[in-house]
C-alpha cells in the first residue's frame, strides 16, 4: 500500500474515533431454534432442536449530533439438533452396526457472521436510561461444524458436516431488529459503563434450504463501554 495513502487512512480513522461518540458492547442471548435451521443432509427425521446460543461484540457510532447511530458487530451462533434414530441398524465409520439401544444423531454447528445497521437512541430521562432500536442486515457462514452418532451412552467419532459441496447448506443471510433498554447501575452519570436488556428478532434465509425464510427470536443481556 502507498505510504501516503496509509498515513491518510490512519489520520481519518483517528479523527473519526476522536470526534464521533462511540460505544463498544458485548452481549449474549438465547433464541428459539426453528425447524430445519441447519438443514441436515442425508439423515431425515423429527429433530429435537436445542435453543440457539448467541454472542456478539460490536460498536455503535453516533452520526454527528443526531439521534442516529451506526451499528456493526461480529456475531457467533451455536446451533445443535438431536435425532432419536431408535433401534436397529445404523451407519457408522465401521459400517452398519446393530443395536438394541436408542441411537442418537447429533448435529452441531458454529456460525460466525457480521451485522451492520442503524438505530435511533431515545433518552428516557437524565439518569442514564435510554431505549435504542437497532435494525439492519446480517450474514453467517459456518467456520466449524461437527456431528456424531450416539448409541445409548456411547458416542461414536465426530465427523465434519458442512464441508466441500455441503458448505453452502449452512450459509445464512437476512435482517435483524433488536430493541434495547439501556441503564446505569451507578449514580455517577459520567461513568462510561452501562448495561442493557434486549429482545431480538431475526429473519434469515438459508442459501440452499427446504423452507425459507427462517424466523427466530429471543432475548439477552449486554454490557457497554463509552469511548467518549
- Cis, bond preceding 3 (omega within 30 deg of 0): no
pLDDT reported for residue 26: 96
CA proximity to 77, closest of 163, 144, 148? 144
Cα 88 to Cα 122: distance, rounded to the nearest angstrom = 60
Model pLDDT, residue 9: 40
pLDDT in tens, 45-72: 778 889 999 999 999 998 887 889 999 9
pLDDT digits (tens, 9 = 90+) for 212-226: 888 999 999 999 998
Mean pLDDT value across the chain: 81
Cell digits for 108?
Answer: 452441531
CA distance 80 to 144: 12
User: Residue 128: left if φ>0, alpha if ψ -120 to 50, beta else—which one?
Assistant: left
pLDDT tens column, 143-163: 878 877 777 777 777 788 888
pTM above 0.75, yes or no: yes
What pLDDT, on the 0 to 100 scale, is given for residue 201?
95
Give residue 106's pLDDT: 82
The mean pLDDT of 78-89, rounded to a whole number, is: 80
Query: Is residue 166 scored above 90 in pLDDT?
Result: no
Which among 70, 34, 67 has a CA at the least distance from the CA of 49?
34
Amino acid at each position: 500500500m502507498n505510504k501516503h495513502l496509509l498515513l491518510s487512512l490512519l489520520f481519518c480513522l483517528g479523527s473519526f474515533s476522536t470526534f464521533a461518540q462511540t460505544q463498544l458492547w458485548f452481549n449474549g442471548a438465547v433464541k428459539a431454534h426453528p425447524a430445519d435451521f441447519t438443514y441436515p443432509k442425508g439423515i431425515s427425521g423429527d429433530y429435537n432442536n436445542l435453543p440457539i446460543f448467541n454472542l456478539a461484540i460490536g460498536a455503535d457510532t453516533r452520526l454527528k449530533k443526531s439521534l442516529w447511530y451506526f451499528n456493526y458487530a461480529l456475531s457467533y451462533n451455536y446451533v445443535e439438533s438431536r435425532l432419536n434414530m431408535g433401534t436397529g441398524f445404523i451407519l457408522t465409520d465401521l459400517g452398519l452396526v446393530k443395536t438394541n439401544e436408542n441411537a442418537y444423531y447429533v448435529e452441531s454447528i458454529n456460525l460466525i457472521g457480521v451485522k451492520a445497521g442503524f438505530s435511533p437512541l431515545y433518552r428516557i430521562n437524565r439518569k442514564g436510561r435510554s431505549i435504542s432500536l437497532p435494525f439492519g442486515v446480517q450474514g453467517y457462514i459456518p467456520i466449524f461444524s461437527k456431528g456424531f452418532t450416539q448409541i445409548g451412552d456411547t458416542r461414536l467419532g465426530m465427523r465434519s458436516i458442512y464441508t466441500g459441496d455441503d458448505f453452502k447448506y449452512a450459509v445464512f443471510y437476512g435482517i435483524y431488529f433488536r430493541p434495547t433498554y439501556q441503564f446505569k447501575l451507578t449514580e455517577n452519570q459520567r461513568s462510561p459503563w452501562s448495561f442493557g436488556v434486549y429482545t431480538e428478532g431475526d429473519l434469515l434465509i438459508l442459501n440452499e434450504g427446504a423452507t425459507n425464510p427462517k424466523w427466530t427470536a429471543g432475548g439477552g443481556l449486554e454490557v457497554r463501554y463509552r469511548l467518549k
